Structure 1
Amino acid sequence: MTTMNISLPDALKAFVDEQVSGRGYGTSSEYVRDLIRKDQDRQHLRTLLLDGAATPSGAKADAKYFDALRARVRDRS
């Protein structure tokens, strides 16, 4: 594992310390790693949403569509 040192103003250091003690993290490093992982997840989700928004529209999902879908599922049983 690689080490990274960061500088924080006193107010942010106090906030991190509160989060560590109040939310069950063992160290400030665990807290920061968790924040980074959550940010990675958010960025991945954002990419998926933008990719989905950029794709052409598919079939209209109205009552007729869902009736046909239910019929296909019943026919497979």
Structure 2
Amino acid sequence: MNISIPEQLKRWAEARVAEGRYSSTSDYVRDLVRRDQEQAEKLARLQAAIDEGRASGISKRSIEDIIADARKRRAG
């Protein structure tokens, strides 16, 4: 895969490599793509949890009951 980027971005990527964290600009770009993929997956899981919560309807429990249950679970 070949990509074209503006000179300013090229210099940025090369500077990141020069810092020693990446072995090449390709390594840097791969890391960026991996991080983007991980972020998209986290966002998808969060959205699924939100959708599940919204679909479950309105709880008849009070906020105090919910907090008390959460504290019990955390305590252990």
Q: TM-score range by the shorter chain?
A: 0.7 to 0.9
Alignment match, 1:17: 14
* Alignment partner of 1:40 is 2:40: no
Aligned length: 67
| TM-score scaled by length of structure 1 | 0.72
Matches within 5 A, 1:1-77: 4-56=1-53, 61-63=66-68, 65=69, 66-67=71-72, 69=73
Structural RMSD (CA): 2.4
Larger CA deviation: 27-36 vs 53-62 = 53-62
Task: Specify every segment of 5 or more residues in structure 2 that has no aligned partner in the other structure, as ranges.
Answer: none
- Amino-acid identity (%): 34
Large movers: runs of 4+ above 4 Å: 57-60
1:7 positional shift:
1.0
Q: Which runs of 5 or more residues in structure 1 are unaligned?
A: none
Tell me, what secondary structure is at the counterpart of 2:17? Answer: helix
TM-superposed deviation, 1:53: 0.6
